[in-house]
């Protein structure tokens, strides 16, 4: 520390900003604690990133202008390569990390053009690197690079998969779930930051990857595999094996980890609704129009398409009530097996729908509902959080479902709040046990009748662990 300010190499963006926040022109009443949307290795760049912080100011303080002006003044005075682009007040339940719906990473690398040097092994000692690209791009001196093979291999990474083979050894949170969802992975032609003779020696490339969250070194290891594949050091079968056998031991040493200097966090995306102050927030599964009143009395009309896809927010110039009005409750009853259905809590509270579907038993996960005469109720206390351990509740839920549909010949309805995560997890686990299925097959069956079913990342990890348990245990030892 120098005068209370971190000095390289121990400084972090978080520590720098926390000190800057504590030295604002108008000091906050509490000690600032910053929560970034993600953490990156040293040398990784962020073109745009986010963080949230709980701050209390004296009443009447223009906190936003104070934060932006004072923080940037602090950063400029102390020569930090950080700038605050924007700040806003958000609801108490907003999290820069967990509210994020998509992150985009870009990795820049340059491959030496073929035929310039007699031996690629010696090229790195002779080929000059553009000075403008120092610590901003990874240079590959082996000119052998089959880019069409990269496009083919990229398809293997898309979707929800176990990326355990691509995770480095994390310094913290070593028990993190390794299941992640990749929305897109693309190799495209890039360019040098500045035009100069030395830049003409290389073909510049960019790998763009999008997803909700990533494991430690996952993006860099992904790029390492793609480059090694294009150079002929790995085969497509080698890449497939990383997913078939997700384990640190499956990592291929031929795929040398690329440095952090080429990696850029491009942006972090959130739903616009997450920035609105609302008295109630609920996932909407079908096309829905909802009136929302903010804390300052402004009224907006939110519109959602199917599968909770956000469409638009439009201001309404009229007086409105101070609460959320959801005009279209989710009354879908998704029948998975004879005598077993699932969905949202709206069904569990609609007497007509319950009678029409001959529901005799209701299993509630974390959400208690008003009781209807003639229906047997069971309640399991469960939170929809990745870190919540739902696995110990599996057997109890199985017993409830089996008792209702097999021994009593009834029809059990399983629900949570929105019928997306908790109830889906229990139903998928039951299908795995009842039908001897793996996780992928079970979730596919459920999605055919309940397309919005989506266990959170922590629950997916628990289901994969449950799959391994089931396959390693003799059938005769499984409880009936």
Q: Could you list the active site residues?
A: 416
Cα separation, 277 vs 290, in Å, equals: 14
Count of helices and strands (H, E) across the chain: 12, 18
Phi, psi for residue 8 in degrees, rounded to 5: -50, 140
- Report the alpha-carbon angle 25-29-35, nearest 5: 90
Cα separation, 91 vs 85, in Å, equals: 20
For residue 199, give Cα distances in angstroms to 108, 138, 290, 305, 370: 14, 13, 54, 47, 69
413: region left, alpha or beta (phi > 0 left; psi from -120 to 50 alpha): beta
**CA torsion angle for 9, 74, 19, 43 (degrees, to 10)?**
-30
- Quote the tokens at residue 135: 């610590």
Helix/strand/coil (H/E/C) assignment for every residue in 207-251:
EEEEECCCCCCHHHHHHHHHHHHHCCCCCHHHHHHHHHCCCHHHC
Residue with tokens 């009309």: 301
**What is the DSSP-derived secondary structure letter of residue 343?**
E
Nearest one of 98, 112, 310, 88 to 203, comparing CA atoms? 112
Cα separation, 24 vs 274, in Å, equals: 27
Cα separation, 320 vs 304, in Å, equals: 20
For residue 473, give Cα distances in angstroms to 162, 329, 399, 479: 22, 42, 19, 11
**What is the DSSP-derived secondary structure letter of residue 258?**
P
Please say whether the beta carbons of 430 and 398 come within 8 A: yes
């Amino acid at each position: 520390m120098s005068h209370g300010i971190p000095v390289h190499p121990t400084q972090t963006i978080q520590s720098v900003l926390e000190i800057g926040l504590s030295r604002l022109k108008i000091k906050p009443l509490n000690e600032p604690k910053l929560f970034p949307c993600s953490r990156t290795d040293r040398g990784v760049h962020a073109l745009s990133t986010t963080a949230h912080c709980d701050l209390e100011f004296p009443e009447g303080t223009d906190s936003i202008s104070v934060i932006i002006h004072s923080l940037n003044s602090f950063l400029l005075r102390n020569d930090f390569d950080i700038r605050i682009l924007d700040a806003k007040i958000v609801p108490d339940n907003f999290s820069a990390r967990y509210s994020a719906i998509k992150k985009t990473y870009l990795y820049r690398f340059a491959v030496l053009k073929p035929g310039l040097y007699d031996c690629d092994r010696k090229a790195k000692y002779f080929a000059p690197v553009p000075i403008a690209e120092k610590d901003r791009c990874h240079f590959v001196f082996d000119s052998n690079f089959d880019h069409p093979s990269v496009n083919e291999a990229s398809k293997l990474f898309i979707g929800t998969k176990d990326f355990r083979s691509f995770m480095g050894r994390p310094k913290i949170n070593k028990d993190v779930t390794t299941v992640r969802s990749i929305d897109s992975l693309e190799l495209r032609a890039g360019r040098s930051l500045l035009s100069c003779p030395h830049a003409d020696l290389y073909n510049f490339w960019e790998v763009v990857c999008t997803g909700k969250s990533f494991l430690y070194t996952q993006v860099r290891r992904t790029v390492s595999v793609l480059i090694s594949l294009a150079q002929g050091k790995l085969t497509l079968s080698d890449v497939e094996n990383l997913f078939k056998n997700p384990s640190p031991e499956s990592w291929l040493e031929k795929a040398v980890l690329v440095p952090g200097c080429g990696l850029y966090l491009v942006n972090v995306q959130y739903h616009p609704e997450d920035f609105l102050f609302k008295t109630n927030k609920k996932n909407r599964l079908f096309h829905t129009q909802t009136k929302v009143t903010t804390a300052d009395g402004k009224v907006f009309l939110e519109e959602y398409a199917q599968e909770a896809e956000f469409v638009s927010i439009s201001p309404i110039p009229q007086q409105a009530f101070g609460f959320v009005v959801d005009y279209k409750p989710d009354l879908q009853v998704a029948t998975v097996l004879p005598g077993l259905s699932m969905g949202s809590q709206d069904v569990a509270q609609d007497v007509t729908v319950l009678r029409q579907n001959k529901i005799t038993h209701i299993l509630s996960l974390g959400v208690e509902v008003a009781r209807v005469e003639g229906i047997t109720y069971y309640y399991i206390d469960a939170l929809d959080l990745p870190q919540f351990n739902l696995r110990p509740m599996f057997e109890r839920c199985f017993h409830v479902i089996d008792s209702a549909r097999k021994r009593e010949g009834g029809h059990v309805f399983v629900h949570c709040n929105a019928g997306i995560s908790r109830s889906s997890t229990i139903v998928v686990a039951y299908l795995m046990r009842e039908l001897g299925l793996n996780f992928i097959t079970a979730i596919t069956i459920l999605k055919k009748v309940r397309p919005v079913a989506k266990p959170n990342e922590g629950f997916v990890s628990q289901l994969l662990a449950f799959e391994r348990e089931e396959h390693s245990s003799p059938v005769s030892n499984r409880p009936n």
